[in-house]
Amino acid sequence: MPVVLTGIVPIYNLPDIHQDLRLSGEVLAAIFLGDVKVWNASQIAKLNPGMDLPSLPIQVVNRPAGKGSNYVFTEFLSKASSKFRTEVGTTPSPKWPVGTAAERSSDMAEWVKSTPGSIGYVEYQYAAKGSIS
């Protein structure tokens, strides 16, 4: 029986941040709900003590309806946040409350890589290939 396994990872572009940023599932859910709007928000700062986070707006990038990566990512966010589970849920066609849609994973990777302050999610191979955090 063939089996396929893929890992979906969040990616972000924060100028002048040269260490890995810690983001919990709850905080990621709040970002993708539009509740956390800036990179130096207290929820992010609490997870990254001592890091000088910029006062930069978070630009959310997501995938359009019908994408498998949506299902995997929304399933994770729904498990991490009851609010996300209630408002968006686990689905390949989420009604994202915020963000700009990127048709393909490669489009999302490129958008995030070239747009300071952006965050999105892709299959791990795109993050590794593009050297994106």
Q: 82 exposed, middle or buried (CB, 10 Å; 0-12, 13-18, 19+)?
A: exposed
The second-level CATH assignment, the architecture, of 8-129 is 3-Layer(aba) Sandwich (3.40)
Give the chain's mean pLDDT. 91
Looking at the chain, the whole-number percentage of residues with pLDDT higher than 90 is: 79
**Which band of pLDDT confidence, cut at 50, 70 and 90, is reported for residue 17?**
confident
Sorted by where each begins, the domain ranges of the chain are 8-129
pLDDT in tens, 95-129: 999 999 999 988 999 999 999 999 999 987 767 66
Using DSSP's 3-state secondary structure scheme, residue 115 falls into: coil
Question: What is the per-residue DSSP string for 35-51?
Answer: S--BTT-HHHHHHSTT-
pTM confidence score: 0.90
